Each structure stands twice: as C-alpha cells, then as structure tokens.
Amino acid sequence: MKIIIINQKGGVGKTTTTVNLSYGLAGSGKKTLIIDLDPQAHSSVAFSPELPKKETVAELFNNKEVDIKKLIRPAIVEIEDGKLTTIDNLF
C-alpha cells in the first residue's frame, strides 16, 4: 500500500501527518518507509538526528550511481536523557 501526503501550500500539516501516521503504522507492525521529498526535510530530521548531507533523496536525484539501499536507514528517536533508540518497522 502507498500513502502519499502532498499539498503545495505550506503549513497545512503534511509533515505532522506523515510523522504521526508512519509512527502509528510502524507501531501496529506495518513495515513503513518514509520518502521525504520536502526541501526542508523535517520528516527526515524527526527520525534521523544526524542526517548526512550526502545520503539524501536529493543526492539520489543528482547522482544516478548512488546506491539507494544506503539511503534507507532505521528511524531513530531520543527516548530520555539523550539516549537514542530505533523504532521497529520504521525506515
């Protein structure tokens, strides 16, 4: 199944919807992949505290030689006291 959240206007909740929906789907056992095409990349930042500039979708569009498998990584969140953990089923 593919769910696409798109709207040209800013400030309508695209990122909030994406982050919360994907977290909920992953929590219910569904393997979930977020593909963040927004130039601000806030969905990516929400689940990847250290986002390497050379390992983004933009780099994939600019360089056809990039291995797409290297761009897919588990979602990471801070749980407490700066400790990080991965979220099962969310990439």
Quick: pLDDT tens for 66-87: 888 888 999 999 888 889 999 9
Q: Which pLDDT belongs to residue 76? A: 93
Q: What is the pLDDT of residues 17-71, one digit of tens each?
A: 999 999 999 999 999 999 999 888 889 889 987 877 777 888 888 888 888 888 8
Distance of alpha carbon 75 from alpha carbon 85, whole angstroms: 8
pTM of structure: 0.83
